[in-house]
Structure 1
């Protein structure tokens, strides 16, 4: 298990959006997004900590994962695919080497997703914790080479495919995201130690 004295907090915003902080550093995963896009989750920005010294890790440009107008309201920096960062000013964009200089080791796994030219599944290490972010891919072939994942943010389509093959997602903590209510009734969640967070809930480590 992960050490419980890390002062690490993870808040679920909605869809695949998460806020991760140790009270000094602030990371958003697939946020800001367009509230209610494609019939997925709405969110109340007043219930989310918007710290100006934040980094956004974005997997792809679909509106249920990304909103440029909301992003531009803040002095945030971004690590994301080319179609998002192409027209941004350089000082807003972080590359893997920039993240390494602040203690984050980032690996990008190029994965497929319908109607999306650039889609990144993310694997990063911060505070000796290895995080996995699936994005919206349904592909599981990249999972073969992954080991020692501590916290995984995983969509239901990957879990469905693993279940079809009689497998589970291997990580110390698997946090489900991008769910619809009916997904919770499906058999690929039964008898698995997956975590389903309620919106705005916080996990503390």
Structure 2
């Protein structure tokens, strides 16, 4: 009888400690879904960046259909712009989470009021296709004191040049090329190059911390 109460007491203590946060992994996990799409979580809050998009749009990466089914309940969706290789209104309307993008930036930058240890800064950046300008934002996320930069489709260097002490910077190939051509030194520990066509290869400056994001499902861990 004493053994029974002792064992059950340990279980209760473990549950209480887990609820207090001792069971958390203390890391941000960033899963690469495809193209510019990410799932980011700290084990409590879930963010999707430029996902869901139309799989295979403009001949960019397709993703497994299971990604749509595995979207976490009450997630937060953040989009850089509305092009179909970054955003699908048809798919995202299935979910009950908050949705943010160029249409409601003023609400997006207030997320810190409801999410602890989270801030996001939105940069209005240029994105032209065949000479036509589209409304577009790049983002600097600060989460648990770790900074993550999301370029989206811009080639602009102005804001990228100003960011400091970033953990991961995610860049498309043309802004990465622009940075190289102007010899811009980006203050970041790691660079992930996304928005690649299947089998696309580009030269990277520093293979030790500049990575081509080609392996869908790959997870980046950022301890905090």
**Same topology, TM > 0.5:** yes
May I ask how many residue pairs the two structures share in their alignment?
Answer: 191
Q: Which has the higher contact order (CA 8 A, sep 6+)?
A: 1
Provide structure 1 residue ranges, at least 5 long, that are not aligned to the other structure.
87-92
Q: How far is the alpha carbon of 1:12 from its aligned partner? A: 0.5
**After the TM superposition, which residues 47-66 of structure 1 pair with which residues of structure 2 at under 5 Å, given as runs?**
47=67, 49-66=70-87
Q: Give RMSD over aligned pairs.
A: 2.1
SS at match of 2:159: helix
| Equivalent position of 1:80 in the other structure | 101
Residue-by-residue CA offset, 1:42-74 (whole Å, 9 max, x unaligned)? 111314631112001100010000001110111
From the superposition, tell whether residues 42 and 7 of structure 1 become closer, same or farther in structure 2 (CA, over 3 Å).
Answer: same
Question: Contact 2:56–2:85 (CA<8 Å) still a contact in 1?
Answer: yes
Give runs of aligned pairs for residues 1-205 of structure 1, distance below 5 A. 6-47=26-67, 49-82=70-103, 94-103=107-116, 104-114=118-128, 115-181=132-198, 183-184=200-201, 186-187=202-203, 189-192=204-207, 193-197=209-213, 198-205=215-222
TM-score, scaled to structure 2? 0.78
Runs (4+) off by over 6 Å: none
- In the TM superposition, what is the alpha-carbon distance from 1:168 to its structure 2 partner? 4.5
- For residues 204 and 34 of structure 1, what CA distance do their matches in structure 2 show? 26
Unaligned runs of 5+ in 2: 1-24
